[in-house]
């Protein structure tokens, strides 16, 4: 078990955004967490990488309790998040962004990233804020890969992108997974996420309501109705 959460709770003041969920990711898996807006997906992800504190529950990464470890300690252990809205350094160049990505390891060669994202190599001197949405997402992923993650947390990589670009980003995610990086993917685009992932969790108002293999979920009538926009015959 690479990542294990049990009874994880996140509160915002009096509001329980995540109500004691259980979630596990095995080494080498690509797992997705789907659900509607405000279901608590991003809160779950942020709690896992410690950007927000969890109120209760157990959180283990490679057998180690990380429920109280500081945010900045996790990238060094191989747990890296690509935040929602990308979180790139907009005023810095592509190169500089990648250099900061290598911070946790004390430096690194961006060459493998340029090899996987030729578009970024062409724009290495360009200011990140001037890249297109898709390129910014690529940069966010490439920057996270600079840390050589074991577990990559992706928060809505398809957000705000044109369908063609979404397909491209998902292709990249598939390729990263193929190279052996374990991925926990949070997505609103349930169909694409389930087609890509091996297993999935469905989240609804702070709780996990369904879980299973991606194939089963794709054919589940409730999922089809609620998230895939299909009426049940």
Partner 1 sequence: MKFPAKVWIGTALVAATLIALPFALAYAGTAWVRIANFAILYILLALGLNIVVGFAGLLDLGYIAFYAVGAYAYALLASPHFDLHLPFWVILPIGAALAAFFGLLLGAPTLKLRGDYLAIVTLGFGEIVRIFLNNLSRPVNITNGPQGVAGIDPFRIDGFDFAQYQTLLGLQFSGPIKYYYLLLAVVIAVIVINLRLQNSRIGRAWEAIREDEIAASAMGINTRNVKLLAFAMGASFGGLAGGMFSAMQAFISPESFVLVESIMVVSMVVLGGMGNVWGVILGALLLSFVPEILRWTVEPLQDALFGRQLIDPEVIRMLIFGLALVLVMLFRPAGLLPSAVRKRELMGQAA
Where do contacts with partner 1 occur on this chain (CB under 8 A)? 49, 51, 70-76, 80-81, 83, 87-92, 96, 99-101, 103-104, 106-107, 127, 129-130, 143, 147
Shortest approach of partner 1 to residue 212 CB, angstroms? Answer: 30
Alpha carbon distance 159, 155 (integer Å): 9
CB of 77 to partner 1, least distance (A): 9
| Contact yes or no for 212/199 (Cβ under 8 A) | yes
Tell the smallest beta-carbon distance from residue 26 to partner 1 (Å). 24
Beta-sheet pairing, 182-187 with 151-155:
parallel
Which of 72/222 has CB closer to partner 1?
A: 72
Using the minimum distance from each CB to partner 1, give the nearer residue, 96 or 195. 96
Edge-first strand order for the sheet with 30-35 is 79-82, 151-155, 182-187, 30-35, 199-204, 207-213
Judged by beta carbon, residue 11 or residue 148, the one nearer partner 1 is 148
Nearer to partner 1, 12 or 222 (CB): 12
> Closest approach of Cβ 100 to partner 1, in Å?
5
Query: Secondary structure of 36-94 in the HEC alphabet?
Result: CCCCCHHHHHHHHCCCCCCCEEEEEECCEECCCCCHHHCHHHCEEEECCCCCCCCCCEH
Q: Which of 104, 203 has the CB closer to partner 1?
A: 104
Q: Considering the complex, what minimum distance in angstroms separates the CB of residue 82 from partner 1?
A: 8
Q: How far is the CB of 68 from partner 1 (least distance, A)?
A: 15
Rg of the chain over all Cα atoms, to the nearest angstrom: 17
Report the distance separating Cα 53 and Cα 60, nearest Å: 14
Nearer to partner 1 (CB atom), residue 52 or residue 194? 52
Q: How far is CA 201 from CA 41, 56, 221, in A?
A: 10, 20, 15
How many CA atoms within 13 Å lie on the side-chain side of 142? 29
Length of the chain: 233
């Amino acid at each position: 078990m690479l990542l294990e959460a049990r009874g994880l709770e996140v509160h915002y003041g009096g509001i329980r955004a995540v109500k004691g969920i259980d979630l596990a990711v095995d080494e080498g898996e690509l797992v997705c967490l789907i659900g509607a807006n405000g279901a608590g997906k991003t809160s779950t992800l942020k709690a896992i990488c410690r950007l927000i504190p969890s109120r209760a529950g157990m959180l283990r990464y490679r057998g180690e309790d990380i429920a109280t470890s500081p945010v900045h300690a996790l990238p060094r252990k191989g747990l890296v998040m690509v935040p929602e809205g990308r979180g790139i350094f907009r005023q810095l160049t592509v190169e500089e962004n990648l250099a900061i990505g290598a911070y946790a390891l004390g430096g690194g060669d961006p060459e493998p990233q340029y090899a996987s994202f030729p578009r970024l190599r062409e724009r290495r001197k360009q200011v990140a804020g001037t890249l297109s949405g898709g390129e910014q997402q690529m940069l966010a992923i490439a920057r996270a890969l600079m840390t050589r993650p074991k577990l990559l947390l992706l928060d809505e990589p398809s957000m705000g992108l044109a369908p063609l670009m979404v397909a491209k980003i998902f292709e990249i995610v598939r390729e990263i997974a193929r190279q052996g990086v374990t991925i926990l993917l949070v997505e609103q685009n349930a169909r694409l996420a389930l087609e890509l992932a091996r297993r999935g969790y469905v989240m609804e108002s702070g709780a996990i309501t369904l879980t299973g293999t991606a194939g089963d979920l794709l054919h589940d009538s409730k999922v089809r109705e609620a998230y895939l926009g299909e009426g049940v015959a």
